Amino acid sequence: MLKNSKTDKLKKVEKVYSFWGRFPSLYGAQDAITFLGRAKTIRSRAVKKIGLKKGDKALEVACGSGRNFTYLVKDIGKNGFILGFDYSQEMLDAAKQLCERNSWNNIKLVQGDAAQLKITENNFDGVVSVLGISAIPDWEKALNRCYDVLHHAGRLVVCDARLFTGVLKILNPLIRLIYSKFAAWDPSKNIPEKMKEIFGNVEVENLNLDTFFIAISVKK
Ligand X SMILES: C[S@@+](CC[C@H](N)C(=O)[O-])C[C@H]1O[C@@H](n2cnc3c(N)ncnc32)[C@H](O)[C@@H]1O
Among 47, 63, 98, 127, binds ligand X (CB under 6 A): 63
Q: Give least dist CB 220 to ligand X, A.
A: 26
The alpha carbons of the chain give a radius of gyration, in whole angstroms, of 16
Q: Give least dist CB 110 to ligand X, A.
A: 10
What is the per-residue burial (b if ≥16 Cβ within 10 Å, else e) of 192-214?
bebbbebbeebeeeebbeebbbb
Binding of residue 67 to ligand X (CB under 6 A): yes
In degrees rounded to 5, what are phi and psi of residue 77?
A: 70, -170
Q: Give least dist CB 215 to ligand X, A.
A: 15
Taking each helix axis from N to C end, the angle separating 139-149 and 191-199, rounded to the nearest 10 degrees, works out to 40
Strand 212-218 with 203-207, pairing: antiparallel
Binding of residue 113 to ligand X (CB under 6 A): yes
* Ranges within 175-204 binding ligand X (CB under 6 A): 183
Binding of residue 68 to ligand X (CB under 6 A): yes
* Ranges within 119-178 binding ligand X (CB under 6 A): 130-132, 135-137
Ramachandran region, residue 16 (left: φ > 0; alpha: ψ -120 to 50; beta: rest): alpha
Binding site for ligand X (CB under 6 A): 13, 17, 62-64, 67-68, 86-88, 91, 113-115, 130-132, 135-137, 183
